[in-house]
Structure 1
Amino acid sequence: MKILFVDGTIIGRKTGVVLETVLNYIKENGCGYQLERLNLADYTHQFVDGRPLDEYNDDMQKLVRKFNEADGYILATPIFQGSIPGVLKNAFDMLHPHTMRYKPISIIANGGTHQHHLVIENQLKPILDYFRCLVTPNYVYTHKNHFDRDNTIIDMDVHNRLRELARVFVRYAEMSKDLSKEILDEG
């Protein structure tokens, strides 16, 4: 299985630190999956305006291919102004509605206030439900107080929740193997 670790922002470091931590916990599970990082900051983005995919630049086409080729996703995003970053929403807008269907996804978010965790429930989950992803129930939200000055996670409870997220994700990934084949057989 190919798992795509999506860093859903083009600025900051905390999101990437949390994503890398989960990547290491997934490796510890010994599942043998192919793990790949996708950093939105590494792409030249264009606004999605409804034109055919082949009319977008190479980076946008590559981004779509990466999502299409993946069998599951770990999505990390900061919360800005009570919302997900525009670049992440723009990336979702590029995807066909079946791209992530019945594929597992775990959510990690970080923000500056404790209330921003509600963005996961009120904005991100509905988008992922539209794609019919298998969203694991145990997302992890981190706050600036969970990090030291060097953006190292210092809160052991956060580490424990990230380990659990990795464990549950692997179970969902195994479950999704049959579901993904069923949707392909339907045409």
Structure 2
Amino acid sequence: MKILLVDGTIIGSKTGAILEQVKTYIQEFNPDMELAVLRLADFEHQFVDGRPLAEYNDDMREIVRRFENADGYIIASPIFQGSIPGVLKNTFDMLHPHTMRYKPVSIVANGGTYQHHLVIENQLKPILDYFRCLVTPNYVYTHSSHFDADNTITNDDVHNRLRELARVFVQYAEMSLHLSKITLDNH
């Protein structure tokens, strides 16, 4: 299975540090999964405005291609001003509604206040529900106090929750193999 680990920001490094830790834990539970990190910071973004995909630049089309070719996703997002970054929402806006259908998704996020975990419930989950993803029930939210100066996760509870997220994600991924997939041609 091809799993896309999406670093949903163009600035900062805590989100990427969380993804790398999740990647390590997924490999422990299923070393056969093909894990690839997609860093939105590595691409030239254009505002999504409804034009056909072919009219966007190569980077935007490449992002869509990687989402389409993945069998599951780990979505990582910082929380800025009580919301997900615009670049992540813009990425979701590029995708066809069937792109992520019945594919497993886990969510990790980080922010500067403990209350911002609600952004996962109020913004990310509804978007992923629209795509009809198999969203695992155990997201992990981290706070800046969970990291050291080098952005290494230092909190044992966070490590335990990330390990559990990885375990549940692998099980959701295996379950998704048995679901019928809807092709874009049929709907």
If the TM-score is normalised by the length of the shorter chain, which range does it land in? over 0.9
Whole-angstrom distance in 1 between the partners of 2:78 and 2:85: 7
Structure 1, unmatched stretches of 5+, are none
Runs of 5+ in structure 2 lacking a partner? none
State the TM-score, normalizing by the size of structure 2.
0.97
Higher helix share: 1
Q: TM (normalized to structure 1)? A: 0.97
Provide the rounded CA distance (Å) in 1 between the counterparts of 2:185 and 2:95.
Answer: 20
* Deviation for aligned residue 1:178: 1.6
Deviations 1:142-168 (A, max 9, x none): 000100111110000000000000000
Alignment of 1:1-187 (within 5 A): 1-179=1-179, 181-184=180-183, 187=186
- SS of residue in 1 equivalent to 2:182: helix
Dislocated runs of 4+, deviation >2 Å? 181-187
Partners of 2:54 and 2:80 in 1: CA distance? 31
Question: Alpha-carbon deviation of 1:136?
Answer: 0.2
SS at match of 1:148: coil
CA distance in 2 between partners of 1:129 and 1:185 (Å): 18
1:183: how far off?
Answer: 2.5
**CA-atom RMSD in angstroms:** 1.2
CA distance in structure 2 between the aligned counterparts of 1:182 and 1:16, rounded to whole angstroms = 30
Q: State the alpha-carbon separation in 1 of the partners of residues 181 and 141 from structure 2.
A: 33
Deviations 1:38-72 (A, max 9, x none): 00000000000000000000000000000000000
How many correspondences in the alignment?
186
Q: % of aligned pairs identical?
A: 75
